[in-house]
Structure 1
Amino acid sequence: MFPRPYDVVERAYLRLLHREIDEVPTHVAIIQDGNRRYAREQGRDAPDGHRAGADTTERVLDWCADLGIAELTLYAFSTENFERPDEELDPLFDLLEAKLLEFADADRVHDQGVCIRAIGDVERLPPRVRDAVAYAERRTADNDRFRLNVALAYGGRNELLSAARDIARDVDNGALDPDDVDVDAVERRLYDRPVRDVDLIVRTGGDERTSNFLPWHANGNEAAVYFCAPYWPEFSEIDFMRAIRTYQSREESWQRARTERAVALVHAAAEVELAEARRVAGRLRDRLPDIDTDALSSAVPGDDPGGDSERVD
């Protein structure tokens, strides 16, 4: 059976995207939005959408491995998600538990050297999910080629607020000097921070906001952001490569801007030095009238030998 024309074009476009990419982010963070809306449009229940989204997660891990991305953080469950009804939460917790256990034992996870860990207020999760988190972290602890952070019961503002409270408490009891409050002091008090700052945030589902996700590591690093319309279960490799291209374009733009700023700074510094040299030459001409003014002027670029140079007394 011959492939459909659309499939042929899609594969050709994907190959083109791969050829265009020569710089990839080290750490990608994804807001997996649209699972429930996808299920509704398919005439199915919310848990079906979450299960379909879990399949996408597995594919994304493969795409990251192919590109050499070192770290991926997935926004799997926010603190706001606790407000959902029990009939939706229970199947979601069941899925989280099952997938964590499955990933922890999967050959592909160990073949790719994936180390799994959870970030967030994990203690708020049901015991069965906490046990699955502990098992996945323990089972993959020795893997060191790729890090998968699963954000569970995560809220960026809560994370920063908790860190601020810990710092205030340590300062108050004398365990921390106020002058020692720096970036490292904050990061040591975050949930269980990702090793690297975030280079690229991807959000599926059509909303253009980052929803309180990793504000310290992503927004603080001015991460590139890519918003796309497909729901998470529909997120394709083409969508992923477009996101990577957005990161690369942003990096290239930054490189150009940094180069332009550096050139402008050099020119500005040179103009200051030249102006100072002219002022010194002017003073010498005033104070040493017998000096060879032609020789002096020729040593200062821009002066007119023998002319009426501007003097600054």
Structure 2
Amino acid sequence: MPIKPQSQNGDIHVPTHVAIIMDGNGRWASARGLPRTEGHRQGAESVRAVIKAASRAGVEYLTLFGFSSENWKRPSGEVMDLMGLLRLYLRKELAELHKQGVRFRVIGERSRLAPDIQALIEAAENRTRDNVGLTLVLALSYGGRAEIANTARALAEKVQNGELLPSDIDENLFASSLETADIPDPDLLIRTSGEQRISNFLLWQTAYTEFVFTDTLWPDFRADEFEAALSAFRSRDRRYGAVGV
């Protein structure tokens, strides 16, 4: 597939798209003798800080891994708490996001979410659709393998219905059929808490993404840590399989 520009904002040192796996809320809370829910609440403060930092830096797309398809396996009480925090965030933060010119998007199997949450997501997307600032993409009930499988199934159905030939399917067509079709692939992926894996997140889209792993737990990840990750990105030589200059 064609390589997307490193940056569309005029500065090759600023990633156009940053994706973040927000990890460590539970460990942050446990280390302080607090319930896991408090870690998630403090994590929401980091979300606010990083959105502002990304906007100031000139990042155009910020994708946050909010809730994975595997997270449904967590204890029901924790899932309920997370969904409650999501409702609160969508209700409380929308006005501020809109004020900042942020465009809000959700990817993932939203049909698994409660109807009222689906309605809140739709309202947020509709209200911010014409904003021209940072695009905030929240991955909810999302899994990279499921996205790829769903895309393959949809293309297979088109072949079966005579809408496509098997020979029509290439990397470009496949990429344009993903949920992220109108979003550039991430230039930089950050994972907090010291873990060094991508946990089924944006598997197709991160083929040429630069990774930064930090030991900082997500509730402690603020603007300074975000800037440090951008600094690490600037030091990378992105060759996309070619020979460096």
TM norm structure 2: 0.90
Misfit runs of 4+, over 4 Å: none
Give, in angstroms, the shift of residue 192 of structure 1: 4.6
User: How does 1:54-203 map onto structure 2 within 5 Å?
Assistant: 54-106=44-96, 109-193=97-181, 195-203=183-191
For the pair 1:229 / 2:215, whether they are aligned, the reply is yes
Q: Distance in 2 between matches of 1:259 and 1:188?
A: 29
- Count how many residue pairs are aligned between Structure 1 and Structure 2: 234
Q: Distance in 2 between matches of 1:198 and 1:22?
A: 14
Distance 1:100 1:38, change over 3 A: same
Which of 44, 53, 62 is the aligned partner of 2:43? 53
Give the corresponding residue for 2:4.
none
Unaligned 5+ segments in structure 2 are 1-10
For the pair 1:26 / 2:16, whether they are aligned, the reply is yes
CA RMSD across the alignment: 1.8
Deviations 1:12-65 (A, max 9, x none): xxxxxxxxx981100000000011111111111111111100010000011011
Q: Distance in 1 between matches of 2:17 and 2:244?
A: 25
Q: Distance in 1 between matches of 2:18 and 2:56?
A: 14
Secondary structure of 2:212's match? strand
Larger radius of gyration: 1
Q: Which structure has greater helix proportion?
A: 1
Give the corresponding residue for 1:277.
none
Q: Distance in 2 between matches of 1:163 and 1:24?
A: 30
Paired residues of 2:55 and 2:133 also in contact (CA < 8 A) = no
Give the corresponding residue for 1:239.
225
Q: Distance in 1 between matches of 2:244 and 2:105?
A: 38
For the pair 1:211 / 2:199, whether they are aligned, the reply is yes
Paired residues of 2:24 and 2:217 also in contact (CA < 8 A) = yes
Does 146-155 or 136-145 show the bigger shift? 136-145
Secondary structure of 1:215's match? coil
Q: Distance in 2 between matches of 1:193 and 1:208?
A: 27
Greater RCO, CA 8 A, separation 6+:
2
TM norm structure 1: 0.71
